[in-house]
Amino acid sequence: QQQVKQSPQSLIVQKGGISIINCAYENTAFDYFPWYQQFPGKGPALLIAIRPDVSEKKEGRFTISFNKSAKQFSLHIMDSQPGDSATYFCAASQASSNTGKLIFGQGTTLQVKP
Amino acid sequence: DADVTQTPRNRITKTGKRIMLECSQTKGHDRMYWYRQDPGLGLRLIYYSFDVKDINKGEISDGYSVSRQAQAKFSLSLESAIPNQTALYFCATSDFRAFAVSEQFFGPGTRLTVL
Query: Which pLDDT tens digits describe chain A residue by residue (114 residues)?
Result: 569 999 999 999 999 999 999 999 999 999 999 999 999 999 999 999 999 889 999 999 999 999 999 999 999 999 999 999 999 999 999 887 777 889 999 999 999 999
Q: Tell me which chain B residues have a C-beta less than 8 angstroms from the C-beta of A42.
A: 108-109
Size of interface A-B (CB pairs under 8 A): 62
Q: B residues 59-88 near A, CB within 8 Å? A: none
CA angle at residue B33 from B1 to A64, to 5 degrees? 85
* Pair B55, B66: CB distance under 8 Å: yes
Q: How many CB atoms lie within 10 A of CB B91?
A: 27
Decide if A43 and B103 are in contact by the 8 Å CB cutoff.
no
Terminal CA-CA length for chain A: 38
Between CA B13 and CA B46 the distance in angstroms is: 20
pLDDT score, position B4: 97
Q: How many CB atoms lie within 10 A of CB B55?
A: 16
Which residues fall within 8 angstroms of residue A60, CB to CB, at 6 or more apart? Answer: none
Decide if B108 and A99 are in contact by the 8 Å CB cutoff.
no
Residue of B101, B103, B106, B110 best to disrupt the A interface, most CBs of A under 10 A: B101
CA of A109 vs chain B CAs: smallest distance (Å): 10
Decide if B48 and A104 are in contact by the 8 Å CB cutoff.
no
